[in-house]
Chains A and B, each alone.
Chain A
Amino acid sequence: MPRTSLNKQEPPEDPPLVSTPERGFLRRRRRLNEDAAGLGRARAGAFVAPALVLIAIFLVFPALWTLYLGVTNWRLTGLAAAEPEFVGLDNYVDAVTDDRFVGSLTRTLVFVACSAIAGQMLLGFAIAWLMRRASKAVRGFVETLVLIAWILPASVIAWLWLAMLDRRNGSLNAILGTEDTAWLLEYPMQSIIAFNIFNGTAFSMLLFSSALASIPPSQLETAKMSGAGTWATLRDVVFPNIRGHILTAVLLVTLWTFNVFTPYLLTGGGPGQETEIFPVFIYNLALKTGELGQGAAFSLIMIVINLIIALVYLRVLRERRHT
């Protein structure tokens, strides 16, 4: 069998050297050759099965189950816990007319727009842009700080912010001279927005700094020679070049921020319901109050929104690959 000799011929990537019909032949040989360990389909199935079972039970099933749970009046305790009844679309109808639901969605929109798009992305881009020319020491220092805010466990970061924003002894009041300002009560939304910017900017910064590095230096040079200012350079050279990266960042950062639960650690959704973004709302409603059926209906809404964002993202990826 010429198997071994074929293996030797097999270069890692073989684009233009071999003509097309020969390449087709090589590929066919390779496909036959793929099962080098002699696994066979049956054993391959046995290898894949345990992982698929775990995924099916703890990921796929819960997602599909929301379809059923969402049309029941399932509760954490009481009669409806033992024998949940079918209530049809009541949960969804209630939701649309419920101020708390609508309010929560609106707040989530504000939270995502301010902390993810305007906050993390703008700040991340600005840092990446300014650090491009900074000395190595400054760049390393700033990037490390931003990264630390990202890699520390969320619980620790939440606690650090609680300490900083404390009314009596917080560092922020001491520094700004705003004695006795209860940030989490007086500016709750602004606080969790700032907190989320702090926590998530690193991703945008990393993404944009690699995007900026991919712009051909000659184009930037030309812009500089023709006397273009910073704004003109950004508009005419930088943004057209990194359009794909910007779209990627918008979609991923939106998806993550929409699913973020950590603001709960700062405010618990309060005061009142002022910071009750959608995940916190679901938690308070389903697991604190015990309205599991209604909570499941809202979970499904959340999964569908996630799905839409993810599908748009995949579409953007495909278009980028084609161009």
Chain B
Amino acid sequence: MTTATESTTPAAPGPENGPSPHEQSMAFVRTALGRIGRFVFIGFVIVFFALPVLWLVSAPFDRAPALRLSVPEFTLDNFDVLLDNPFAMQSLGNSLIISLSTMAIVLVLASLASYALSRVRVPGRDMLLYSLLLLSSIVTGTAAMVPTFVLITELNLIDTQLAVVLVMAGGLLPAAIFILKDFMDNTPRSYEESARVYGASSLQILRHVVVPIARPGLATIAVWSVVQVWGNFLVPFILLRTPDKLPAAVVMFTFYTEGGQPNLALISAFSLLFSVPVVLLYLFVNRRYGFRFYGGIKS
């Protein structure tokens, strides 16, 4: 009470008496402006990030999908168009084949390698791990597209899905081994010893003892590699030619009507269907490990 009267009396504007009314109103204006600025900025951020995505959730359900955003006149017809289009469904199948095969290779080879590196002390092991990781972050798909293309051509693997799988797996393996080794290091060794006492072979121990314990790590790597391959555009774009081998990420850009206009009914429904698995995997990881974890697995 006293402080309030003191600070509002203009008679005693001393330094020990707090800010003068003028200063006070200035401060008030400043906080008000700051608050308005903050609201405007947050509003801008929301519009910037939401505007493009709105189309993805409205157009697929619109009776007459246009490029412009509009409140949809609800229908599921666009998904019928999608289901009737052989290329579209096949490309989703191709994406599935390519990403699951890559995942399988990465998972098997990375768990074998990381297990061995975790349990046996090889000279220069850490050096090897770090240089592999360094290598995979500098020899990116973009930087290596020319030699990769020439290599695949020379190997006679051009225009095969196997080529895409092998190239993707080669790029993902170093990081996968690196992450998995961390998980393997933290699994207890005593079970392996007792399994060995009972005469289990190393592969049996790996399959029946280590893999079940390291399951969270393996799940991480599985989700991570599927997400990486599912969305990848460049590698299949440069290595595949035949339309019926293309994955969804590439095929999207070939959906035009006879008139040369983009087939919006097809593209909108297709984009949504193509995005759903990634979002679901994200939600899965989010529930399991908290979404901040996803930051670690995206790139």
Chain B binds chain A: yes
How far is B128's CA from A51's CA once the two chains are assembled, in angstroms? 13
A39 and B49 contact, CB distance less than 8 A: no
A39 and B150 contact, CB distance less than 8 A: no
How far is B50's CA from A143's CA once the two chains are assembled, in angstroms? 11
How far is B41's CA from A127's CA once the two chains are assembled, in angstroms? 9
B77: interface (CB < 8 Å): no
Contact with A along B57-89 (1 / 0, CB 8 A): 001000000111100000000000000000000
How far is B148's CA from A101's CA once the two chains are assembled, in angstroms? 21
Residue of A152, A202, A255, A282 with most chain B CB atoms under a 10 A cut-off:
A152
On whether A63 and B145 interact (CB within 8 A), knowing A35-B119, A153-B278, A155-B252, the answer reads no
B146 and A282 contact, CB distance less than 8 A: yes
On whether A160 and B52 interact (CB within 8 A), knowing A36-B192, A37-B192, A48-B113, the answer reads yes
Which B152-191 residues have a C-beta within 8 angstroms of A?
166-167, 169-171, 173-174, 177, 189-190
B56 and A306 contact, CB distance less than 8 A: no
Closest B residue, CB atoms, query A310: B138
Closest A residue, CB atoms, query B68: A169
Interface of A is mostly: helix
A163 and B253 contact, CB distance less than 8 A: no
Q: Which size bracket describes the interface of A in this complex?
A: 35 or more
How far is B200's CA from A6's CA once the two chains are assembled, in angstroms? 23
On whether A287 and B113 interact (CB within 8 A), knowing A54-B166, A156-B56, the answer reads no
For the A-B complex, the count of residue pairs with Cβ-Cβ distances under 8 Å equals 295
A145 and B120 contact, CB distance less than 8 A: no
A36 and B119 contact, CB distance less than 8 A: yes
How far is B45's CA from A52's CA once the two chains are assembled, in angstroms? 45
On whether A164 and B51 interact (CB within 8 A), knowing A123-B45, A155-B233, the answer reads yes
B231 and A154 contact, CB distance less than 8 A: yes
| B278: contacting residue among A7, A149, A152, CB under 8 A | A152
CB distance from B33 to the nearest CB of A (A): 12
CB distance from B30 to the nearest CB of A (A): 8
B53: interface (CB < 8 Å): yes
B177 cross-chain contacts in A, Cβ below 8 A:
51
CB distance from B298 to the nearest CB of A (A): 7
A51 and B121 contact, CB distance less than 8 A: no
A65 and B138 contact, CB distance less than 8 A: no
How far is B233's CA from A210's CA once the two chains are assembled, in angstroms? 31
B206 cross-chain contacts in A, Cβ below 8 A:
37
CB distance from A292 to the nearest CB of B (A): 6
A171: interface (CB < 8 Å): yes
A155 cross-chain contacts in B, Cβ below 8 A:
231, 233, 248-250, 252-253, 274
- Assuming A134-B42, A155-B253, A283-B145, what are 17 further A-B pairs, CB within 8 angstroms? A4-B193, A31-B121, A44-B122, A48-B112, A50-B113, A51-B113, A55-B173, A55-B174, A58-B167, A142-B46, A149-B49, A168-B67, A198-B52, A259-B143, A279-B143, A282-B142, A299-B144
Q: Which residues of B contact A (CB under 8 A)?
A: 34, 38, 41-42, 45-46, 48-53, 55-56, 59, 66-69, 105, 109-110, 112-113, 115-117, 119-122, 132, 134-151, 166-167, 169-171, 173-174, 177, 189-190, 192-193, 195-196, 202, 205-206, 210, 227, 230-231, 233-234, 238, 248-250, 252-253, 267, 271, 274-275, 278-279, 282, 291-292, 294-295, 298-299
- 15 example contacts (A-B, Cβ-Cβ < 8 A) are as follows A35-B119, A35-B121, A36-B189, A36-B193, A37-B196, A44-B117, A57-B151, A57-B170, A150-B298, A155-B249, A210-B292, A283-B145, A287-B238, A298-B146, A303-B143
